[in-house]
Structure 1
Amino acid sequence: MPILLKDMHNAVQKDRCKEFEQDCHAMFQYFAKMKEANEDCFYSWTVDEEKKWKKVVWVDARSRAACLDFEDVVCFNATYITNCYELPFANFVGVNQHGQSIILGCALIRREDSETYKWVMKQWLECMGDVQPGGIITDHSTPMANAIQEVLPNSRHRLCVWHILSKVPRRVLAMKNVGEFQKNMKEVVYNSLTPEEFKGRWICLIQSFKLEGNEWINGS
């Protein structure tokens, strides 16, 4: 009998599902081993109606200890898709007394919606003794913002400045001197020492480049 393209897709999908289940089993075995070696290690997961893995959060003992000292500002990022299954890898990152980034928690998720982010943040918060960080930084994401508003209402939510600045070129395409504007904008953003100084320099920047009518710039 001839082999159709659909048959080939089905065979590949079947092999991928089998490999995925094997990797999931190995992952949870590793988490169990971590928990057995140190009771402070934490992991939690959920399954769907077909009893298939849906999302998982894990935090090792070192991360839990670090969070007690460095929970004042946390960055939550879910933009990494570096695994063969194309599952978003989300992480909570803090900064220690040496200015170094430290991992405070990790998650693998299948969907990037508000309910998923709520679950991830609730598990992480429970792991950290329900102590909400003073501030949390994320990329611009409505599902993330909704989850933070519900789960972390006492944390100040701010957007990542790197992601904001990276959007400048396509938001001011009509400008002939966009490169000069970017340079001056970064100077204002990174070298203003007080909110008052920033506001004053920002107004001058907008006026000097005649961007008073730019909706995105004024909304920033």
Structure 2
Amino acid sequence: MKEANEDFFYSWTVDEANKLKDVVWVDARSRAAYRDFGDVICFDATYITNRYELPCANFVGVNQHGKSILLGCALIRHEDSETYKWVMRQWLECMGDVQPGGIITDQSTPMANAIQEVLPNSRHRLCVWHILSKVPRKVLAMKNVGEFQKNMKDVMYDSLTPEEFERRWISLIQSFKLEGNEWLNGLWED
């Protein structure tokens, strides 16, 4: 690909046995798109795509038509902070060291640690879709988990100020008697 287009970017690492470990690649179109649509990006490593269960992580932006655009990809062996730091450093190098204004991810401590170190000027936010999809697993004891999930979504989407969100969140947790839920408490702290 690099021979066909000099703006194609790729980088890889190998392990101690000299076997391929991690790969990052970005095509020329994605590099150009980042210049126009890289103000807020989503980094997602939740895709398992092959028999080796290597997560396929992707960087995605949104164009002027509200459509998702691919800004880069990586195959990674380990979902730890060091791997994410390497991936983000390679991607950032490819993009001329221009950090996005914001980055949206799932709730991953290793990913958050990597973002804090490699993209310190980017605002890190959690993906609402990922949060809401975890509710049934994280709030198991509830008979009315669907009602809680709907109310939680309303609090997140319909609060217009931080103060309103905080008031409504506390009320939601209290009304469903979930003050002791470790996951929700951790989410609140994040």
TM-score range, shorter chain: 0.7 to 0.9
1:206 is the counterpart of 2:183: no
1:124 is the counterpart of 2:91: yes
Structure with the higher fraction of residues in helix conformation? 1
1:160 to 114, 127, 130: 127
Q: CA deviation at 1:213?
A: 4.1
Amino acid at match of 1:61: A
Q: TM-score, normalised by structure 2?
A: 0.87
User: Structure 1 69/202 Cα, relative in aligned 2: closer, same or farther at 3 Å?
Assistant: same
Query: Matched residue pairs, number?
Result: 187
What is the CA–CA distance in structure 1 between the aligned matches of 2:39 and 2:136, rounded to whole Å? Answer: 32
Amino acid at match of 1:77: D
User: Structure 1 187/147 Cα, relative in aligned 2: closer, same or farther at 3 Å?
Assistant: same
Amino acid at match of 1:43: Y
Q: CA deviation at 1:115?
A: 1.6
CA deviation map 1:46-65 (0-9, x unaligned): 22333322211110011001
What is the CA–CA distance in structure 2 between the aligned matches of 1:147 and 1:218, rounded to whole Å? Answer: 22
Ranges in structure 1 where 5+ consecutive residues have no aligned partner: 1-33
Runs of 4+ in 1 over 4 A off after TM superposition: none
Helix, strand or coil: the match of 1:145? helix
What is the CA–CA distance in structure 2 between the aligned matches of 1:212 and 1:145, rounded to whole Å? Answer: 25
Give the structure with higher Rg (CA). Answer: 1
Say what the alpha-carbon RMSD is for the aligned residues: 1.9
Q: Please list, as runs of the form range in 1=range in 2, the aligned pairs for 1:12-161 lying within 5 A after superposition.
A: 34-161=1-128
Relative CO higher for 1 or 2, CA cutoff 8 Å, sep ≥ 6? 2
CA deviation map 1:97-141 (0-9, x unaligned): 211111110111222222211111111000001011111122222
What is the CA–CA distance in structure 1 between the aligned matches of 2:29 and 2:40, rounded to whole Å? Answer: 18
Moved more, 140-149 or 124-133: 140-149
